[in-house]
Amino acid sequence: MKSVIKLTFVIFLIFSCSKKQKAKSEINTKKIEYGVIISEYLESKKNEPTLVFNNPFYNNKKFAIKLLENDISWSEKNNALEIIINGTKINTSDKVTLNNNWGKSVDSVNFANNVMQIKLYESDSLIGFVLTNEPCTGLGCSVNYQLIFDLKTKSESYFGRFRTGTEFELYDFNQDSKIDFLSKTFYGRNEQMIDTTEFILYSQTEKGNFQEYKTNKQKRFSFKHIYPQIYPNRNKDSIKEVFEQNWVEKITLGNTVYN
């Protein structure tokens, strides 16, 4: 009888260890989706706007709205976009982006001729704009710009994007009471159909404008997402995504363990 009990116990231990090893193996071999990790991380850090205005595509390029106590209007003028905020005129004809939106090149904002979206951050005295060119053709449909306007200092900060989305968000990455913005630079698609996007941290200064965040120990805070394009004749698991970070903290997805 004792032999039977011992044998049963040994079989139970072997089964339990095998089950745990299988579970551990499943965790370690789980495919890493860095796009999901980045999206969830940014969602946890973003500041919520007070109000959002979305302008439908191909709407009249001459428009006037009121967001709480702020009067905002815009129109295309002299091959550029003119925006008036509470009487202050802004013209994009001579503006360039702070970041490189494609490769190593900044971009001229005078390509924009319409406002796609406006976000008001009342407690921060900031208004964010997404600027586009309409109607667009070819590569121009992948370009958009972000304008951050400080209502107190009337300072302007411009950023550009190419093939990296149209969303406008403000963040708090350092928990230092300073408003942060995350620029995106697209480095193109190589011969292996691999895309690279770099995210770079900018923070608001005392003057109200935004500039690249740096410290005495580190000159740039950024992370890169390197990912393959998927098409019918390609095995989507043949090339893994890569995530490189030189950031203010380590970006992870919860407590999930990856190899």
Tens of pLDDT, residue by residue over 140-180, are 777 899 999 999 999 999 999 988 888 899 999 998 889 99
C-alpha span between 103 and 166 (Å, rounded): 18
Domain ranges of the chain: 33-246
Dihedral angle sign, alpha carbons of residues 23, 27, 31, 36:
positive
Task: Please report the pLDDT score of residue 236 as a whole number.
Answer: 56
Q: Which residues in the chain land under pLDDT 50?
A: 2, 4-15, 22-29, 232, 255-259
- The pLDDT score that the predictor gives to residue 30 is 54
pLDDT of residue 98: 96
How far is Cα 183 from Cα 211, in angstroms, rounded to an integer?
11
Q: Is the pTM of this model over 0.75?
A: yes
Q: Can you give the pLDDT at residue 35?
A: 83
What was the pLDDT predicted at 231?
Answer: 53
Q: How many CB atoms lie within 10 A of CB 174?
A: 16
What is the structure's pLDDT at 136?
79
Confidence at residue 74, expressed as pLDDT on a 0 to 100 scale: 94
- CB count in 10 Å sphere of residue 25: 11
Distance of CA 88 to the CA centre of its chain: 29
| pLDDT given for residue 257 in this prediction | 37
pLDDT at 23: 46
CA distance 36 to 188: 21
- What is the per-residue pLDDT for 253? 63
